Amino acid sequence: MKHLFLIFILICTTSLSAQNMLVVEKPGTVKNYIYRAGDHIILKTIEGIKISGPINIIRRDSTFVVDFVHELSLKDVEMVYEPRVLLNLGGTALIGGSALYLGLDLINHGGIKINQSFWVSIGVAATGVIMLVFSKKKMRIEEGKWRIKVLVE
């Protein structure tokens, strides 16, 4: 029985992981986004540089490394972007579909004709562009809006 208990404890300890997490949270609510080492992040620094890539290292002293190139402190982050996959996919599909529809209309009519199908395809393309504009959630790191911190497990 003792050996069985020891084997059970050893199996359970292999599934434990103690790693630091980067948390972007809205104070006073339950909205938060957790990033671990290996997760993809898109952010903008105070200097205005947009950085996108995997998080490689999260240190306890509130610094982290993105894409093995950028070592950032939490104070250097101005904004974190969270992609909205369905808006991005839908916007891209609408733009592609309207281009295909306009192309087929050009082939059928032998040139550009300003008719109802032209305006429908332009409207669908405009809707796709608007969807692409809103396809990334912007979380501005400010007092009272969003905050970023490192949690140690």
For residue 18, the model assigns a pLDDT of: 63
Distance CA 86, CA 140 (A): 22
Q: What are the start-end ranges of the H helices in 24-70?
A: none
Q: What are the start-end ranges of the H helices in the chain?
A: 2-14, 85-109, 116-133
For residue 12, the model assigns a pLDDT of: 63
Q: What are the start-end ranges of the H helices in 56-115?
A: 85-109
- Given a cut of 70, the residues of the chain with pLDDT beneath it are 5, 10, 12-18
For residue 110, the model assigns a pLDDT of: 78
Distance CA 40, CA 36 (A): 9
- Quickly count: other Cβ atoms within 10 Å of residue 98's Cβ: 20
Q: Which of 60, 65, 69 is nearest to 20 (CA)?
A: 60
Is residue 31 within 8 Å of 82, Cβ to Cβ? no
How much is the pTM? 0.72
Is residue 96 within 8 Å of 83, Cβ to Cβ? no
pLDDT tens track for 103-133: 998 888 877 778 888 899 999 999 999 999 9
For residue 133, the model assigns a pLDDT of: 95
